[in-house]
Structure 1
Amino acid sequence: MADPLHIVCPHCHTTNRVRQDDLAKAPDCGSCHKMLFTGHPVTLGEGAFERHISRSQIPVLVDFWAPWCGPCLQMAPAYAQATAQLEPGFRVAKVDTEAWPALGARFNIRSIPTLALFNNGHELARQAGAMGAADIVRWAKFHAL
């Protein structure tokens, strides 16, 4: 039997231990009892971002975006569709670079939307520009290998 994975709750940001076999069984948080996977991107600020990136043992896909960005708004429905396809194997998140400019600066985000894929605290890949749902899923799965 494989060791349990650490999964950070999208609601209270508590780290949970979940057996890999149980990921597809709609696990809930041991602390707040809400579902660990909702089928929607998780909105992250600075502290929550750190927790998800450093403690999650599944890949974390992050959309760096801003509310004034036309391509970001165009991509939002596709990103939500991709989330439903990628969970529970991925945590899918969004970071508003307008609200959290230090995160954008830290990761040298120069154009938005930019997707960045993290695993075990390290950035694996990034892609600037709007993409459709199928392309987001394909890109994330390819780079998570």
Structure 2
Amino acid sequence: MDPPFDKFILGSANPLGIEGEFFNSDEPYISKIKVLEYKHSLDSLVEEFQSGVKAVEDIGLVVTWEMHDKWRQMFDAVCLFDEDNTHHRQIHGTTHSFTHSVSGNHAFEAIILKDLVAYLKDPKGEVARQRKFLDQE
């Protein structure tokens, strides 16, 4: 990402942005090379992790239409729409951050398109829905 970084910073006009503290200089920000994983559902990616076809540590960003529930077998999730959680966002536009259930270590960030569309239509309603959905055991 190249300066000026204003277009990437979280704010009322950019609810999917990154906290301003992330950008601590006027130098371009260059991230590590990351693998982007595209799936219709997060369930199929979790199945690939569980079977050993793919490794969590190789994935940088996941883009799926929906989450379903298999992720709960391996991960905890935080919704990044929620103002209490936006500081966890490391990649502009991500909707969720996943951590390993056992260790608590960061696993990957994701853009869940179905949730993003719902958020753009009704931000407050989607935050409430996410809180309820993610608190289920």
Q: Tell me if both proteins adopt one fold, taking TM over 0.5 as the criterion.
A: no
Q: Compute the TM-score of the two structures, normalised by the length of structure 1.
A: 0.32
The answer to which structure, 1 or 2, has the higher relative contact order (CA under 8 A, 6+ apart) is 1
Flag the structure with larger Rg. 2
Q: Compute the TM-score of the two structures, normalised by the length of structure 2.
A: 0.33
